[in-house]
Chains A and B, each alone.
Chain A
Amino acid sequence: MTSTYVATAGEREKRGGKKPDLVESDRMRAENSLGRKLVVPAIVVMLIVTAFPMLRALYLSLFTYSLTAPEDREFVGLSNYLTALTDPLFWRDTGVTVLYMLVTVAVELVIGFAFAMVMHRVIFARGVIRTSILIPYGIITVVSGFAWQFAFSYQNGFVNGWLPFLDSDFNWFGESTPAIIAIMISEIWKTTPFMSLLLLAGLAQVSEDMLEAAQVDGATWWQRLWKVILPNMRAAIMVAVLFRALDAYRIFDNIAVMTAGAVNTESISFLTYRQTIEQFQLGIGSALSVLLFLSVLLIAWLIVKLFKVDLAAARQEG
């Protein structure tokens, strides 16, 4: 790497996030300039594949535009945004989406951490255990959605049989609450391994010396967890929560497969999909995409503020 100085997260924070004063040598300048030249092609590709569609969506969101009636296209300014933001359907779906995000990320964080501890500490059959924990993540979400749909089905599923307090003909997909729970379980089953993988990386960073020192000082297991392990993993936890929260907010596949948005299980992504792909309403669909993008930005910002860690430090970049 070109960087000659790597700040650890701790050091960086102590300095209040200020950049270290470094004297730039000729060699560093030359390397930086070469670095910039080397990333130009990547930036150009990024602009084409991400910035162009984003700008195009922004532009389209200012029109009423149906793909099947191109002649009726009309500039309406911000009216699509007004329609979306004043429509109860938008807020209902936003509420449902936030619920999906909060519950799944919280549960995944707890289970994922437990799995990470197991993967970190396990002394026998390490490869097998690690692999089996990670298997669900290797399964395509659509497949996982179908598998869980069958599992919850009252006709051929096993879930009703396993739960003694439920009737054998209880229809999980007939009402909102059970349907949302079923979708969440599929989502949690599928993505917890990803969470545990990110947390495992964080666990590996916690210095064994510190843990031993704490143990020598008489700290209990619980104290070591709360006072040593978790604070030292803050950056890793933030990355894990950030990635999963943003992913969870865009939840689509499981809903599409398991309920197709019926019984009020629709998320914002699914609403956007219906407007754009099913109704061919590119204008309002694009406006919803832009709103979705802004919500994701807002969530990212909130999480970064909440954990008070900056991403560059978390990745130990210079």
Chain B
Amino acid sequence: MTQPSYATAPGARRRRRGRGLAAVAIGVLAAGLLSACSGDSGKPVLNWYVNPDGVTTLTELAKQCSTDDYDIEIQLLPSGATDQRTQLARRLAAKDGSTDLMSLDPVFVAEFANAGWLEPLPEDVAATATDEDVLEGAADTVTWDDKVYAFPQWANTQVLWYRKSLAEAGGLDMAKPVTWEQVIDAAAEGGGTVGVQANKYEAYVVWINALVQGAGGNIITDNEAGKDASVDIDSEAGAAAATVIQKLARSEAAQPDLTTSNEGTSLGLMFGDSPGEFMTNWTFVYKNYEGLIESGDITQEDFDDLGWARYPATVEGEESKPPIGGIDIGVGAYSKHRDFALEAGECVTTSEAQVQLAVNEGLMPARASAYDAPELTEAYPADLLELFRTSIDSGGPRPKSAYYATISAALQSVWHSPRSVDPDKTPGESAKFLKDVLEGKALL
């Protein structure tokens, strides 16, 4: 035991304690500064900005793909797509050297590439990133202006989920391709509903775009002309899309919260006491319902009644264009370690990495070969996997444009609420408004 300091005057004791605290503070500060410096002298750290889907597996991938030359560190982006885009854009607009890798929604790729924020992949890397194994719909999302700007990591698509008993009651033969009109009629006939995403948000544009493309049209063409792109939504295809939305909005099969519906709102209407529903939704639906058996929310019998088919056609005879989503991995143009980042980008998007994401997180692969992996064929029915694969391969992306955010917001502004959509007016109005906004003649 040391001698207690009774003998010391209180003032001196306080001073000494103060000095001790100061020494500790300096020590902590110095340690902090030193560790901050060690980044320069030691192994470089690559920052990978990821969205919150499948973070556990992404963290695992980051670990697996770290090498003797560099470590990959995960940085989490906000959950909303708009917030993710804003946060990345703010960093990139300020030429942030620490944004090395980023998980990008496909529609951001063109925007970011056009702004000069993404490092174009060198030819050999680009060739591998978009080789024959990569499904066409996914490969298409990473190209802009004849260059490849990202690695497709996983792909998402929508299919038509339905209660088999409802389709039967509605008299719809699901073995053949079905149209929206048939689906809405069958749902009404069978006392069921049709679930879509029609809140005023991005997924509503996904629906509109799929309907327009399904009728052989496009929202815009000559996309690379930027704000001078040709606005084509005021067309027969646009009118066909509006007809479908109007038909559903006026039908008995419309769900009560149609105008605020999102990916989650219609999930609950599939089973239960009602006859069920037809629902266009992303690939996560299968695992979502499967998980409900264990918790007792639905029975195995219910689950066996779940059917799936290709996304409905807008017009009879024309093949549908299922929506494409997913994540592409881009390399920051201002990154201090671009070569390492390119290497890491390749590593986190290999077929094996995609299988891990699919099996652990339910995020579907962008590479065809990954669909043959035994882990995946065990986890999903063969016909469902085949449906996902063909849907992604033949899907239609949303317009690639440097002005995508503007295009999307302008469409939402005119086409919402779905109850106000009129095939004679809405496509024309939205075309005019979109042109005005792109030319800077109207506020959005």
Binding site for B on A (CB under 8 A): 64, 66-72, 76, 79-80, 83-84, 87, 89-90, 262, 271, 274-275, 277-281, 283-284
Contacts and interface: CB of A to CB of B under 8 A. Distances in A.
Contacts, number: 64
Contact of B443 (A71, A72, A79, A83): A83
A70 B115 contact: yes
Contacts of A281: 406, 440
B440 A279 contact: no
A69 B86 contact: no
Contact of A68 (B82, B112, B200): B112
Instruction: Tell me what chain B mostly uses at the interface: helix, strand, loop, or mixed.
Output: helix
Highest count of chain B CB atoms <10 Å: which of A83, A271, A280? A280
Given A72-B227, A278-B86, A281-B406, A83 B112 contact: no
B442 A83 contact: yes
Across chains A and B, which 10 residue pairs bring their CB atoms closest together, nearest first?
A: A69-B402, A68-B115, A87-B443, A68-B111, A64-B440, A68-B402, A89-B443, A69-B226, A72-B226, A279-B406
Interface in B400-431: 402-403, 405-406, 409
Contacts of B409: 278-279
21 contacts: A64-B227, A64-B440, A66-B406, A67-B89, A68-B89, A68-B112, A69-B114, A69-B227, A69-B403, A70-B115, A70-B116, A71-B226, A72-B226, A83-B441, A84-B443, A262-B200, A274-B444, A278-B409, A279-B409, A279-B444, A281-B440
Interface of B: 82, 86, 89-90, 93, 111-112, 114-116, 200, 226-227, 402-403, 405-406, 409, 440-444
B93 to A, nearest CB: 6
A50 B115 CA distance: 27
Nearest to A70: B115
Highest count of chain B CB atoms <10 Å: which of A68, A76, A87, A262? A68
Contacts of A284: 440, 443
A64 B406 CA distance: 14
A46 to B, nearest CB: 23
Nearest to A65: B440
A155 B378 CA distance: 41
A262 to B, nearest CB: 8
Contacts of A279: 405-406, 409, 444
B227 A67 contact: no
A297 B114 CA distance: 38
A132 to B, nearest CB: 33
Contacts of A274: 444
Contacts of A271: 443
Nearest to B93: A67
